[in-house]
Amino acid sequence: MKSTEIYSSATHSWIVLGRDSQKSESIIDTNQYLIKSADEAIILDPGGIELFSPMLASLLKHVKLENITALFASHQDPDIISSLGLWDKAVPHATLYAPWLWEGFIRHFGIDNIHYQPIKDEGGEVKIAKATLKFIPAHYLHSSGNFNVYDPKAKILMSGDIGAALEKGEPPMFVEDFASHIKYMEYFHRRWMPSNRAKNNWISRVRELEVDMMAPQHGRIFKGDMVHEFLEWFARLDVGSACE
Amino acid sequence: MTNKSKVTLAIENFVRVANIVSNLDKILQEAKNLSLTAKNARVVALRAGDSAYGFKPITNFIDEFSELTIKTTKNISLLSSNLFAIALAVVRYSEFQQRLNTAFEITNHRDIAQLQHQGNIDLLRTMKQLESAITHLESYFEDILKQMRSAEYIAVTSRVEASNAGEFSESLQSVSNFITSAAKKIKQAINDNLKEMHLIRGALR
């Protein structure tokens, strides 16, 4: 599994892990994010069971196991958090931050040791040593209880499934040409995202944030002007296509 | 033995535990039927009066061992949810070991080696817990088998007494037949469970 540092400062750094060449073609490719600060670290959307081994091996290049103090699950999907039962044994003293709505469901993945810290609908924040991260509500995009993670210092928005692209092979880490990237995103957003109302509400709130990088859970990361282009495109897109 | 086969064995054991628990329902149902039969037989024996004099203490016996079997089976049912939890823990620790082995093949990091070591200790501990729970269960099943041997003995005695009960002979005979059939079904379910437990024990070793 590849790992790429996308942000680094005196206080903390962001690393994206993904593009696992050993991964079966039949499972969707995912981006996992590691944020480390001093002797603490959080994994955002740690991934599915199938990715646990390469994830663990890759993470240990960047962080000591005992320093992984927190996990975050944007929602309940298996590609997000079905590895929980294994992390529960690897980092038993960690805390999982996840939507309150999904607690009874996510616990089905097996959680005997890790502490489940429910995130309220209105969001919240967590400190990872010197880094402060905000949980931004993104309900119904696509899950009914769903959060993004915003880092005001790094100006990175981990947007979960928003901005996701289904692109085969090992695409580059960043979106280079927005127009040619649309074909990888359009069906996903029209089909997986159920609500135009939720979409517009999210766009208006995100426009108030300073976002240099928008980092989705699948596909390439949006940087600089690409973030603005995405918001413009998403605002125009009619979602909930299965009801047409 | 590879770790992959450990996961497979752990899952097979989990299925065996499910079979054991499923058989418990059969045992409990037959024991409840026996208890009902004892109550009905007591009424028939009362109506038969002196001609079924020898049958009355038999109905008490049937009642006694059926109640005992119900009690033992209910105790087993309490154990069975614990058995499920332990069998599931064995599956999870086995899978954890398998995933760690794959991670170690990618990078032989010290932290992974430590997790493997601790995971192995936890796996062995849960396997021992499973073996101990199986042994505990086995003793309960031996108790029920003894009760069923008594049931079969009573069925023979009751058949003799039923033959002396005049016009009530046929009804009491059917009671004897029912006891024989229920005891046979319960013994079969227990023997099936003992076989499953034997297989679990073999897999654990």
Q: Write the pLDDT tens digit of every residue in B76-99.
A: 878 887 888 999 999 999 999 999
Distance CA A43, CA A61 (A): 14
pLDDT given at position A32: 98
Hey, are the CB atoms on B102 and A110 less than 8 Å from each other?
Answer: no
Percent of chain B residues past pLDDT 70, beyond the cut: 98
CB A156 within 8 A of CB A213: yes
Using CB atoms within 10 Å of the CB of residue B111, give its burial: 0 to 12 exposed, 13 to 18 middle, 19+ buried.
Answer: middle
Strand order in the sheet with A156-160: A124-128, A131-137, A147-151, A156-160, A213-216, A222-223
Which residues are CB-neighbours of B83 under 8 A, at least 6 positions away? Answer: B17, B20, B21, B130, B133, B134, B137
Residue B143 to residue B132: CA distance in whole angstroms = 17
The CATH number of A2-237, from 1.10.287.470, 3.40.309.10, 3.60.15.10, 3.40.720.10, is 3.60.15.10
Distance from CA of B89 to the nearest CA of A (A): 10
SS3 call for A130 = coil
Say what the pLDDT of residue B6 is.
83
- Which residues in chain A are closer than 8 Å to B115, comparing Cβ atoms? 65, 89-90
Highest mean pLDDT among B7-21, B60-74, B120-134: B120-134
Between CA A239 and CA A190 the distance in angstroms is 4
Tens of pLDDT, residue by residue, chain A (244 residues): 999 999 999 999 999 999 887 788 888 889 999 999 999 999 999 999 999 999 999 999 999 999 999 999 999 999 999 999 999 999 999 999 999 999 999 999 999 999 999 999 999 999 999 999 999 999 999 999 999 999 999 999 999 999 999 998 889 999 999 999 999 999 999 999 999 999 999 999 999 999 999 999 999 999 999 999 999 999 999 999 888 7
Percent of chain B exceeding pLDDT 90 equals: 32
Q: What angle do CA B9, B14, B19 make, to 5 degrees?
A: 120
Query: What pLDDT is stored for residue B5 in this prediction?
Result: 67
Stretch 87-126 of chain A: residues touching chain B, C-beta under 8 Å: 89-90, 110
Closest CA to B94 of B140, B70, B63, B127: B127
As to burial, measured by CB atoms within 10 angstroms (0-12 exposed, 13-18 middle, 19+ buried), residue A189 is: buried
Write out pLDDT tens, residues B21-30: 888 888 888 8
pLDDT for position A146: 98
Looking at per-residue confidence, does B150 or A193 come out higher?
Answer: A193
Residues belonging to chain B with any Cβ–Cβ distance to chain A shorter than 8 Å: 92-93, 95-96, 99-100, 102-104, 106-107, 109, 111-112, 115, 119, 122
In the structure, what pLDDT confidence band is assigned to residue B69 with cuts at 50, 70 and 90? confident
Q: Given a cut of 60, is residue B4 above it in pLDDT?
A: no
The whole-angstrom distance between A119's CA and the closest CA on chain B is 27
Which band of pLDDT confidence, cut at 50, 70 and 90, is reported for residue B127? very high
A32-37 and A13-18: which strand pairing?
A: antiparallel
Give the closest residue to A66 by CA, choosing from A45, A96, A40. A40
- The answer to whether A172 and A2 have CB atoms below 8 angstroms apart is no
Q: What is the largest CA-CA distance in chain A?
A: 50
Mean of pLDDT over chain B: 86
Choose the mutation target among B101, B108, B111 for the interface with A, i.e. most A CBs under 10 Å: B111
Band (B47; pLDDT cuts 50, 70, 90): confident
Residues B11-21 as b/e (b if ≥16 CB within 10 A, e otherwise) read eebbebbeebb
B67 vs B92, which has greater pLDDT? B92
Q: Which chain B residues have a beta carbon less than 8 Å from that of A56?
A: 99-100, 103, 112
Q: Do the chains contact at A89 and B103, CB–CB below 8 Å?
A: no
Give the burial class of B51: count Cβ atoms within 10 A of its Cβ; 0-12 exposed, 13-18 middle, 19 or more buried: middle
B162 has a pLDDT exceeding 90: no
Segments making up each domain of chain A, as ranges: 2-237
Chain A residue with minimum CA distance to B108: A57
